[in-house]
Structures are given as structure tokens and as C-alpha cells.
């Protein structure tokens, strides 16, 4: 019973629509009606600006971290990665936002922040490196997911490898329309990070 409660709580934590809440409080808008219509951090930055977007990113990360900590908080013998996956599912399909959520990137990172802080740190570095090279947030997110799989292989933690692979599949699946746009060269690139010297 307690284990079931833990997974329900983890899902509900993941379901908290950070982008929707911050959008309503900061700008008085529903970000689902603006930009890409997605509740994730990228659309939050695009729609709400850097300050509010940063709050959304941090909140989405902490959802994953808190959920992964639940087994410790509740004194239940459940692996933190399992609780974390429940939160990621909640983030993608939030009950509080008609099951239309984000793309799993930040909350997945938050889960790994709890379980493997060093991996999370290197993920951040990898993401910004990929972003600097490609200028695509979506592609950088996917490449970062693939990077985490490679990193996890060196830890010899079979469960970590499996969960990271699952989370990466989530990320790729949630970015499938972005992948089509990248192929068609219609995916918007970021403008604030340039590798060209003017």
C-alpha cells in the first residue's frame, strides 16, 4: 500500500505544471496558448522570458529530484530511479494539465541529480556544448540523452543504464515533431548563443 502511495505521489509531483503556474503568476497567460503550446522549459523561455523561464527549468528539475528522494523521505525500500521515472511520466502526462505536459528533459535531469549528481553536472556541460554547436535546443536535448547512456555504461550500474535508456527514449519520442522540423530545416535555432565572431 505504501509503495503504491509512493508512486502516486511521485506521479503527482511530476504532474505539477510549472510552466502553466509560472506563466499565470508572472505574465497572466497560459503558455499552452503561445509559442509551441508546450508546457516545457523551452516554450517557457520563449514565451515568458529568461527570468520566468529559469524558474520553470529549476522547478521542473526539482520535481524529479524530490520524487527520487521520496523513498528516503517515506522510509520505503524502493529504488529512487523508479520513483523518478514515475515523476517523469507525470511531467509528460500531467493529470493537472489534461495530460499534456513537457518533453521529459528537465525532470529526467532532476532524477539523475538525486541519484548521480556528477552525471547531472556533466549533462549540463554536454547540453550547453551541444547547444553551442547545433543551436537547436531539441537536438541538444536528444544528444544529451544519448550522452547520458554512454556515461552510465562506464558506471557499471545496470539499473542506471536501463533507466537512462528509458528516459532517453522518452525524450526522443517527445521531440519527434522537432526531429521532423530539423530534417525539413524549419526548426527554429537559438539566437542568443553564437559561435561566430562579429
| 103-126 pLDDT per residue, tens | 999 999 999 999 999 999 999 999
Residue 191: pLDDT band with limits 50, 70, 90 = confident
The residue count of the chain comes to 198
Q: Map out the domains of the chain as residue ranges.
A: 2-183
Share of the chain above pLDDT 90, in %: 78
The 10 Å CB-count burial string (b at 16+, else e) for 73-105 is eeeeebebbbbbbbbbbbbbbbeebeeebbbbb
Q: Left if phi > 0, otherwise alpha if psi is -120 to 50, otherwise beta: which for 185?
A: left
pLDDT over 70 at 194, yes or no:
no
pLDDT over 70 at 196, yes or no:
no
- Whole-angstrom CA distances from 8 to 54, 148, 164 are 27, 27, 21
Measure the CA–CA gap between 15 and 12, rounded to whole angstroms.
Answer: 5
Please give the pLDDT value at position 12. Answer: 98
pLDDT over 50 at 137, yes or no:
yes
Share of the chain above pLDDT 70, in %: 96
Residue 44: pLDDT band with limits 50, 70, 90 = confident
User: Which of 87, 112, 81, 66 is CA-nearest to residue 8?
Assistant: 87
Q: Which residue has the cell 528533459?
A: 105
Q: Are 146 and 170 in contact (CB under 8 A)?
A: no
Amino acid at each position: 500500500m505504501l509503495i503504491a502511495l509512493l508512486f502516486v505521489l511521485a506521479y503527482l509531483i511530476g504532474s505539477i505544471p510549472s510552466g502553466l503556474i509560472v506563466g499565470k503568476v508572472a505574465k497572466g497567460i497560459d503558455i499552452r496558448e503561445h509559442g509551441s503550446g508546450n508546457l516545457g522549459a523551452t516554450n517557457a523561455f520563449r514565451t515568458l522570458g529568461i527570468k520566468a523561464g529559469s524558474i520553470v527549468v529549476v522547478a521542473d528539475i526539482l520535481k524529479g529530484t524530490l520524487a527520487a528522494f521520496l523513498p528516503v523521505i517515506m522510509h520505503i525500500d524502493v529504488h529512487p530511479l523508479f520513483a523518478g521515472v514515475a515523476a517523469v511520466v507525470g511531467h509528460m502526462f500531467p493529470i493537472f494539465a489534461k495530460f499534456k505536459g513537457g518533453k521529459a528533459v528537465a525532470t529526467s535531469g532532476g532524477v539523475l541529480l538525486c541519484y548521480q549528481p556528477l552525471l547531472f553536472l556533466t549533462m549540463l556541460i554536454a547540453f550547453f556544448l551541444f547547444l553551442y554547436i547545433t543551436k537547436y535546443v531539441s537536438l541538444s536535448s536528444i544528444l544529451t540523452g544519448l550522452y547520458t547512456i554512454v556515461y552510465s555504461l562506464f558506471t557499471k550500474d545496470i539499473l542506471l543504464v536501463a533507466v537512462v535508456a528509458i528516459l532517453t527514449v522518452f525524450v526522443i519520442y517527445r521531440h519527434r515533431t522537432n526531429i521532423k522540423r530539423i530534417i525539413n530545416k524549419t526548426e527554429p535555432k537559438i539566437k542568443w548563443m553564437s559561435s561566430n565572431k562579429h
